[in-house]
Chains A and B, each alone.
Chain A
Amino acid sequence: MINWLVQIFSLTLFNLRTIPERKGAAVAAAVGIAGVVAVLVGVLSIAEGFRAAMTATGADDIVIVLRSNADNEMTSILSREEARLVTNAPGIAWSAAGPLASAELFVIINLPKRSTGTDAHVPLRGVQQAARAVRGDITISQGRMFEPGRNEVIVGAGTARAFAGLDVGGTIRVGQSDWAVVGIFSGGGGAAESEIWTDAAVLQPAYHRGDSFQSVFVKLASPEKFKEFKDALTANPQLKVKAVRQADLLADQSSMLTTFIETFGFAIAGLMALGALFGALNTMYSAVAARTREIATLRALGFGASPIICSVLFESLVLALVGGAVGATAAYFAFNGFQAATINWQTFSQVAFAFRVSPRLLANAILWAAVIGLIGGLFPAIRAARLPVATALRET
Chain B
Amino acid sequence: MSGQNGILVKVKDVEKTFRRGSEEIHVLSGLNLEVAEGEFLALMGPSGSGKTTLLNLIGGLDRPTSGSLEVSGERIDQMSGRQLAEWRARHVGFVFQFYNLLPVLTAERNVELPLLLTHLTKAQRRRHVHTALEVVGLSHRARHYPHTLSGGEQQRVGIARAIVTDPTMILADEPTGDLDRKSGDEILSLLQALNREHGKTIIMVTHDPHASARATRTVHLDKGQLSMEAPA
Residues of A within 8 A of B (CB): 1-3, 6-7, 10, 14, 17-18, 21, 293-294, 297-305, 388-390, 393-394, 396
Question: B86 near A1 (CB under 8 angstroms)?
Answer: yes
CA distance A105 to B117 in the complex (A): 78
CA distance A389 to B59 in the complex (A): 11
Give chain A nearest CB distance to B118 CB in angstroms: 7
CA distance A301 to B85 in the complex (A): 8
- Given A10, A14, A21, A302, which contacts B89 in the complex, CB threshold below 8 Å? A302
Give chain B nearest CB distance to A288 CB in angstroms: 15
Complex interface: chain B residues within 8 A of A2 (CB): 119
- Given A293, A303, A390, A394, which contacts B117 in the complex, CB threshold below 8 Å? A303
Give chain A nearest CB distance to B136 CB in angstroms: 17
Give chain A nearest CB distance to B43 CB in angstroms: 16
Complex interface: chain B residues within 8 A of A394 (CB): 52
Question: B104 near A1 (CB under 8 angstroms)?
Answer: no
The interface residues of chain B, by DSSP majority, are classed as helix
Selecting from B92-100, B212-220, B221-229, the interface stretch reads B92-100
Complex interface: chain A residues within 8 A of B7 (CB): none
With A7-B117, A21-B104 given, is the CB distance from A301 to B89 under 8 Å? yes
Complex interface: chain B residues within 8 A of A389 (CB): 61-62
Give chain B nearest CB distance to A136 CB in angstroms: 62
B77-132: which have CB < 8 Å to A?
A: 81-82, 85-90, 94, 96, 98, 100, 102-105, 113-114, 116-119
Question: A301 near B56 (CB under 8 angstroms)?
Answer: no
Question: A305 near B81 (CB under 8 angstroms)?
Answer: yes
10 closest cross-chain pairs (CB), A and B: A302-B89, A390-B62, A297-B100, A17-B104, A390-B56, A302-B88, A390-B61, A389-B61, A301-B114, A302-B117
Complex interface: chain B residues within 8 A of A393 (CB): 56, 61, 96, 100
- Given A1, A17, A293, A301, which contacts B113 in the complex, CB threshold below 8 Å? A301
Question: B100 near A294 (CB under 8 angstroms)?
Answer: yes
CA distance A21 to B145 in the complex (A): 15
Known pairs A301-B94, A305-B82 / 11 extra A-B pairs, C-beta < 8 Å: A1-B118, A7-B116, A7-B117, A17-B104, A18-B103, A297-B96, A302-B114, A303-B85, A390-B53, A393-B61, A396-B98
Query: Chain B interface residue count: which class?
Result: 20 to 34
Question: B89 near A1 (CB under 8 angstroms)?
Answer: yes
CA distance A14 to B52 in the complex (A): 28
CA distance A293 to B52 in the complex (A): 16
Question: A18 near B89 (CB under 8 angstroms)?
Answer: no
Complex interface: chain A residues within 8 A of B88 (CB): 300-302
Complex interface: chain A residues within 8 A of B102 (CB): 14, 294, 297-298
Complex interface: chain B residues within 8 A of A298 (CB): 102, 113
CA distance A21 to B103 in the complex (A): 10
- Given A18, A300, A305, A396, which contacts B94 in the complex, CB threshold below 8 Å? A300
- Interface-centre pick from A3, A294, A301 (highest chain B CB count, 10 A): A301
Give chain A nearest CB distance to B155 CB in angstroms: 14
Complex interface: chain B residues within 8 A of A1 (CB): 86, 89, 117-118
Complex interface: chain A residues within 8 A of B116 (CB): 3, 6-7, 10
CA distance A390 to B90 in the complex (A): 18
Question: B81 near A300 (CB under 8 angstroms)?
Answer: no
Complex interface: chain B residues within 8 A of A7 (CB): 116-117
